[in-house]
Structure 1
Amino acid sequence: MSADSFPETEHSVRPPLQITRTDDPAVVKQAATQDYATHVVPLTGRAGRTSLSMAWLATFSAMFWLYVAVSVAQAVGRANAVIGMVLASVVFGLVQAVLVRYAIRSGLTVALLSRRLFGYLGGGLAPLLLGATAIYYAVFEGSVIAVALQRWFAPASDIRVWYAIVVLYAVPLVIGGVQRWLDRLNGVLLPLYLAGLVALVLAAGVQHGFASGLAATPTPAGLALPGWVTAFMVYMGTWVVMMFAVDYARLGRPADARFHSRVTFGIPYYLGTFVLNGVIGIFVTTAVLPGRAASETGVIDAVLGTLGVAGLVLILVSQTRINTANYYVASTNLEAFGERALRLRWPRIAWSVIAGVIVFAFMLTDVLSSLLTALAWQGVFVVAWVAIALAHIALARGDRDGVPEFRPGRLRNVLPGLAAWLLASLTGIVLTEFGRPGAWYTTLAPAITCILAALLYAVGLRVGRSPLLRRGDDPRDEVDDAWGARIRCHACRLSYTAIEMDRDPSAGLAAICAGCAAESADFVRAARRAGERTA
């Protein structure tokens, strides 16, 4: 008997399950735009290798990567920056390979996986964090487009008009799902972005001299640690990409797990994202704007000054691609948080609009002035989350059918993992905000947070009660194939894979899906009582 399997308890006669072996047409239609945002992705709902790869590569093209590289190069020197980028690419690729394989095997989003890490209530914080981080990135990338449009067409115009235009055209682009729209859109735009990068390098070299772009950048004196370590720590603050990857990778087919873990989300992806984009950003800004300090608008000025209207097209292409990922992750995680915390079961199109409204509101507050500070705080929480997820994958046992327990009625409200996450994150924030600038412990704050989170979670696994409620009446035990069988939910009347189904003790033990269970207070209370009786 597995760790997640418990004996049946004595109940009145359970109503028979309504089982089918094919997908519910209504669920398939809904998934075309919803992408199973609050459900397990069934094996029949997984994306093809090319489709998922094209959708994910939206995150490759972002002016943010050019800006970060320029900032790092000016802080630690060009050579150290490149070494840090390469090291980050290797480490990111190796870590993400583990998370990607787990996401593909389980079909779970960050929100659903976080329930197992932090408990039914504690898990609600993760989608809020990821949604907020995606919104902040959308603010940055959208502001780049708005500033570029303003400077090109009407420098004296009100920037708020351009903010509104950017949001109004971005939101409709993410209403479609990954397999029906985002893959095609990004597949078409990818060659344009790559061609634009080549043209940008050639134009900058011809206009300003290739030697000027390759001029040596001295390493500043007084660094507490080697410059490449500092550079790596900066990129470690962008581990949110790994959480993005989980939400995308869950859509992958198990047969493609090796390819996606090694290529789509692996080291080659990061070499392109960090190193290729970074080296180009450093070269172009050094050649076009020598001696100018890194800024959010510096890359825009360099691109527009070098390519003219073609530069404007490059910015539009790159930022449109990356914002499809930002808005997609923001909307799916806002949906998960809204369903869990607010019990609002709205379609993802509504949450896409809400994400757009929030992005626009942040733009109006001049959020760019505090953007990096906010991302630094969020980055600390993200690093701790990734560390805990890795520790869970390495140390926890008992997954049934390849899926960690995530069903609302079978997990305790709060688990020790939540304390590990919060304590490690708080430590990281204290080191970041109150440590002496440039001190070794301040620079290493992300690494310290990561190690502490993993250790605390490992300790939490060894102490306290079982994280699982000892309940019987598990629909998974009543079917011969938990992935292949579809069971009809008594609440929404739709059929989902048996992997996510449960028996509802508040409704005569009728079957209920994970989405309906999460928003039903009656179900949760009844499940807790049933778990206490059998504890």
Structure 2
Amino acid sequence: MTSPRPDVSAPLAPLEVSFEDDPRVVKEAANEDYSTHIVPLTWRSGRLSLTIAWYALVSGMFYLVTAATLAVTVGTVDTLIGILLAVAVFGTVNYVFSRYAARTGLTVALISQRVFGSLGSVLAPLVLAATAIYYAVFEGSVIAHALHAYTGSLTIEVWYAISILSNVPMAIGGVRRWLDKFNGALLPLYWTGLIIVIILAVREYKPSGWLTHTPDLVPDLGAPGWLYAFFVYMGVFVFMMYTMDFGRFGKPEDAGFHSVVTFGPVFYFFVYFVNGLIGIFLVLAAGAVGAPTETAIGDTIVALMGAWGLGVVWLTQSRINTANYYVASTNLEATVARLFHLRVPRVAALALASVVTYLIMLTDVLSYVLTALAWQGAFVVGWVGIMLTHLALHRSGDRDGLPEFRPGRVVTFAPGAVVWLVSSLTGILVLEFTGTFGTTWSSPLTFVLSIGLYALALRVTRSPVLARGSDPRDEVDDIWEARIRCHRCDHSYIAVEMDRDPSAEGSPAICADCAGRSRDFRRAVLAEAAAALAGPTTGDANREEFARK
């Protein structure tokens, strides 16, 4: 099919501008949370609200098991050194990402369009959704195994279903309408439960020497124990992508607080160091021999507290799974929209995520989940390296202090997409074919390679921003306050994300979501960009005159 050539001589259709939120958009946002749009300033969360919603991620058994496994492998002291290094690095990177997300209001999917291109960016939400689902599998399995072991009834497959069905409904509401309230109510109960578990463990096991534990034989890890421990935490760089999707709800004036307390070093001190200490204590106090299983700490809690322990396990896993399912659903929604040009409500995407989670649980998940997470981790580490480099080299943005993320303003595949694939696949090859060296060093090598290649690509390639005129942003006084009606969905969104649609008569306005799902729009903007490169036309002059008026 040939691309339609836009009628550059036709006058532009006037924009339909308002300065209040579209009531239909606000109603949808209660569940949708602007999943495929920029978050307007009127939908940003209060300081405490966003902090509490994000702190759902504090309560995962994954952090306790990871720290305990490392302590058994390299010793407690080396593990704690690696954790403190992780706290510093994670806190610093997310200090940057959270401030950027609050300033721009962009999701991982939207910012990736600027760096990887309109189609090349599809991999970003896909990887993030898949990773969130794998973490939901892990946390949900802990609930199911604890219930199955304690009751001795029903099959584990039934308990898998129960754990999912009890968690998924909690993620239906949006961040500011539900997740903040739910997790705020349960946060004190989480810490109270862990304190009680520690007291009972001290009485039961009378532990000693756990803080200085050293294994009899440390395996050859290809690096000092403390550095190996830190590299293990690099596999959880997906937190940087989570930060973008949650940080966009922050108010710009609260960026200082959120960058330190909510998403920065204070959060990672609790999530890694405090949780890590508790995990190490519970496993070593119980006299565990060998690496703990993924359900070991949950089993210990239930053994110490009985039915109350079941409540603590359910509480901890349900809190973090609200975040996992939320991130999985919003990014599945973005992936389906871009790949299949379909608009899928977030509730439907959440149902899809729950089905995929259950199907994975039914397999021999432990035989491949760590490999899958390692492969996905390579893509996540590559994304973080590229994004940090991009932010460092484009501090002022492309225009209006923002990156050019709109689907009709970026190329189909940007050089960043090639860099991302090359660096990530290299990391996977190193992981799979270089033995111990690859297991330890693949993540840092991927990170360094992604930074170097992307910096080089920026020097030797042209900008991925398309040369087009007739920008709605030029036709309003305040791009954050003005709302413009989209001619396709008939909803009004802030001017920041709006574009002109050259595939329709008069090039009326189109929102980012509709633009990303329309093939006709894509063909038309590419034709318009090609015409712009060919030289000025009468149509360009008409558009410039209209903008001046």
Q: 1:328 aligns with which of 326, 332, 341?
A: 326
Whether 1:490 aligns to 2:487 is: yes
The alignment's TM-score, normalised by the length of structure 2, stands at: 0.93
Whether 1:164 aligns to 2:169 is: no
Q: 1:364 aligns with which of 359, 362, 365?
A: 362
Matches of 1:289 and 1:146, distance apart in 2: 24
Q: 2:446 aligns with which of 439, 444, 449?
A: 449
Structure 2 contact 139–317 (Cα < 8 Å) conserved:
yes
Q: 1:377 aligns with which of 375, 378, 397?
A: 375
Structure 2 contact 76–212 (Cα < 8 Å) conserved:
no
The correspondence of residues 111-260 of structure 1 with structure 2, limited to 5 A, is 111-154=109-152, 157-211=154-208, 213-214=210-211, 216-218=213-215, 220=218, 222-260=220-258
Structure 2 contact 329–353 (Cα < 8 Å) conserved:
yes
Q: Which residue of 2 aligns with 1:59?
A: 57
Q: Which residue of 2 aligns with 1:421?
A: 420
Structure 2 contact 60–320 (Cα < 8 Å) conserved:
yes
TM-superposition CA deviations, 1:312-366 (whole Å, max 9, x none): 1111010000000000000000000011111110210111111101101111112
SS at match of 1:507: coil
Matches of 2:136 and 2:295, distance apart in 1: 16
Give the letter for the 2:336 counterpart.
G
Whether 1:346 aligns to 2:344 is: yes
Q: CA offset at residue 297 of structure 1?
A: 2.0
SS at match of 2:435: coil
Matches of 2:36 and 2:343, distance apart in 1: 10
Q: CA offset at residue 289 of structure 1?
A: 3.8
Matches of 2:210 and 2:201, distance apart in 1: 8
Matches of 1:288 and 1:301, distance apart in 2: 11
Matches of 2:182 and 2:149, distance apart in 1: 26
SS at match of 1:496: strand
Structure 2 contact 409–468 (Cα < 8 Å) conserved:
yes
Q: CA offset at residue 445 of structure 1?
A: 1.5
Q: Which residue of 2 aligns with 1:506?
A: 503
SS at match of 2:332: helix
- Shift in alpha-carbon separation, 1:292–1:226, aligned structure 2, 3 A: closer
Structure 1 contact 289–302 (Cα < 8 Å) conserved:
no
Q: Which residue of 1 aligns with 2:301?
A: 303
Q: Which residue of 2 aligns with 1:313?
A: 311
Q: CA offset at residue 213 of structure 1?
A: 4.4
SS at match of 1:277: helix
Q: CA offset at residue 212 of structure 1?
A: 5.9
Whether 1:402 aligns to 2:401 is: yes
> Mean alpha-carbon deviation: is it higher for 394-403 or for 318-327?
394-403
Q: Which residue of 2 aligns with 1:4?
A: none
Give the letter for the 2:44 counterpart.
R
SS at match of 1:465: coil
Q: CA offset at residue 482 of structure 1?
A: 0.7
> Mean alpha-carbon deviation: is it higher for 135-144 or for 300-309?
300-309
Q: CA offset at residue 427 of structure 1?
A: 1.2
In the alignment of these two chains, the number of paired residues is: 524
Q: CA offset at residue 221 of structure 1?
A: 5.5
Q: 2:262 aligns with which of 261, 264, 274?
A: 264
Matches of 1:75 and 1:292, distance apart in 2: 8
Matches of 2:296 and 2:433, distance apart in 1: 29
Q: CA offset at residue 214 of structure 1?
A: 4.2
> Mean alpha-carbon deviation: is it higher for 284-293 or for 125-134?
284-293
SS at match of 1:444: helix
Q: 1:474 aligns with which of 447, 457, 471?
A: 471
Give the letter for the 1:492 counterpart.
C
Matches of 1:456 and 1:224, distance apart in 2: 25
Give the letter for the 2:178 counterpart.
W
Matches of 2:341 and 2:486, distance apart in 1: 17
SS at match of 1:523: helix
Structure 2 contact 76–210 (Cα < 8 Å) conserved:
no
Percentage of matched positions with identical amino acids: 53
> Mean alpha-carbon deviation: is it higher for 163-172 or for 36-45?
163-172
Matches of 2:286 and 2:309, distance apart in 1: 13
Where structure 1 has 5 or more consecutive residues not aligned to the other structure, the ranges are 1-8
Structure 2 contact 68–280 (Cα < 8 Å) conserved:
yes
Structure 2 contact 75–212 (Cα < 8 Å) conserved:
no
SS at match of 1:220: coil
Q: CA offset at residue 442 of structure 1?
A: 4.1
Q: Which residue of 2 aligns with 1:41?
A: 39
Q: Which residue of 2 aligns with 1:87?
A: 85
Matches of 2:48 and 2:211, distance apart in 1: 36
TM-superposition CA deviations, 1:256-284 (whole Å, max 9, x none): 00100011001111010001111111101
Give the letter for the 2:88 counterpart.
V
Matches of 1:167 and 1:222, distance apart in 2: 39
Matches of 1:498 and 1:403, distance apart in 2: 13
Structure 2 contact 102–255 (Cα < 8 Å) conserved:
yes
Matches of 1:270 and 1:27, distance apart in 2: 35
TM-superposition CA deviations, 1:218-247 (whole Å, max 9, x none): 371644321100000000110001111110
Give the letter for the 1:299 counterpart.
I
Q: CA offset at residue 292 of structure 1?
A: 4.2
Matches of 1:255 and 1:492, distance apart in 2: 32
Structure 2 contact 141–361 (Cα < 8 Å) conserved:
yes
SS at match of 1:487: strand
- Shift in alpha-carbon separation, 1:272–1:504, aligned structure 2, 3 A: same
Give the letter for the 1:195 counterpart.
T
Give the letter for the 1:329 counterpart.
V
Matches of 2:417 and 2:290, distance apart in 1: 44
The alignment's TM-score, normalised by the length of structure 1, stands at: 0.96
Give the letter for the 2:457 counterpart.
G
Structure 1 contact 213–284 (Cα < 8 Å) conserved:
no
Give the letter for the 1:459 counterpart.
L
Q: CA offset at residue 401 of structure 1?
A: 2.6
Give the letter for the 2:279 counterpart.
G
Q: Which residue of 1 aligns with 2:542?
A: none
Structure 1 contact 69–282 (Cα < 8 Å) conserved:
yes
Matches of 2:220 and 2:19, distance apart in 1: 66
Q: CA offset at residue 210 of structure 1?
A: 3.2
Matches of 2:191 and 2:19, distance apart in 1: 44
Q: CA offset at residue 491 of structure 1?
A: 0.4
SS at match of 1:473: coil
Give the letter for the 1:196 counterpart.
G
Matches of 2:9 and 2:463, distance apart in 1: 23
Q: CA offset at residue 306 of structure 1?
A: 1.7
- Shift in alpha-carbon separation, 1:212–1:157, aligned structure 2, 3 A: farther
Give the letter for the 1:216 counterpart.
H
Matches of 2:251 and 2:212, distance apart in 1: 46
> Mean alpha-carbon deviation: is it higher for 282-291 or for 327-336?
282-291
